Structure 1
Amino acid sequence: MQKFHVKRGDQVVVIAGAQKGKSGKVLEILAAKQRARVEGLAMIKRHEKKSEKNPQGAITEREGSIHLSNLMLQSVYDASTRRPKAASA
């Protein structure tokens, strides 16, 4: 099994791509594709056929996946964006 820098439940920030700068909680890791589903990000629409459960049919939204290389842990991101204090002369 592969080891990744993020795991389910981690708070992450997207560092590249269309969702850059947004953050959320990791819901699921897709190890075979090296991707993750992040809560509230990369939303996609799915068209559902009529069924007994859903007699009208529906268009539902759910989270799409984001490649792991585009994710960074929130704590690491916050530490890297902090600026050092200017030295007093």
Structure 2
Amino acid sequence: MGAAKIRKGDEVVVLSGKDKGRTGTVQKVLPKDGKIIVEGVNVATRHVKPSQANPQGGIDRSPAPMHISKVALADPKDGKPTRVRFEEKDGKKVRVAVKSGEVVND
């Protein structure tokens, strides 16, 4: 498997689904499943019964994994979705945004 085009800490834009157009930071990448978890996007709600550990109970909201093909890296220049290419600069392999040609923070 090659290098990951989307990594933890990247700013991404959702391309499809109920959260289309929203942006967020990647919290976790699950390469075996081909999924990622993005902060504040694809939030799942779970109703929790009161227990000893949580006597209040209530509604638990947490981001759920979504398929990596539903997101694209946000261009560092304007924040719009872009693809990623790999180039070698100063003897180091870096990720480059296709739209603007800028190096993505590595």
Structure showing the higher helix proportion among its residues: 1
Structure 2 partner of 1:71: 71
The count of corresponding residues between Structure 1 and Structure 2 is: 81
Structure 2 partner of 1:86: none
User: Cα offset for 1:2?
Assistant: 6.2
Distance 1:19 1:69 in 2: 14
Larger Rg: 1
Structure showing the higher strand proportion among its residues: 2
- Is the contact between residue 26 and residue 36 of structure 1 (CA under 8 Å) also seen in structure 2? yes
User: Cα offset for 1:16?
Assistant: 1.6
Q: Which runs of 5+ in 1 are unaligned?
A: 81-89
Structure 2 partner of 1:53: 53
Distance 1:10 1:55 in 2: 37
What TM-score comes out, normalization by structure 1 length? 0.75
Q: Give the superposed CA RMSD.
A: 2.3
Q: Which runs of 5+ in 2 are unaligned?
A: 83-97, 100-106
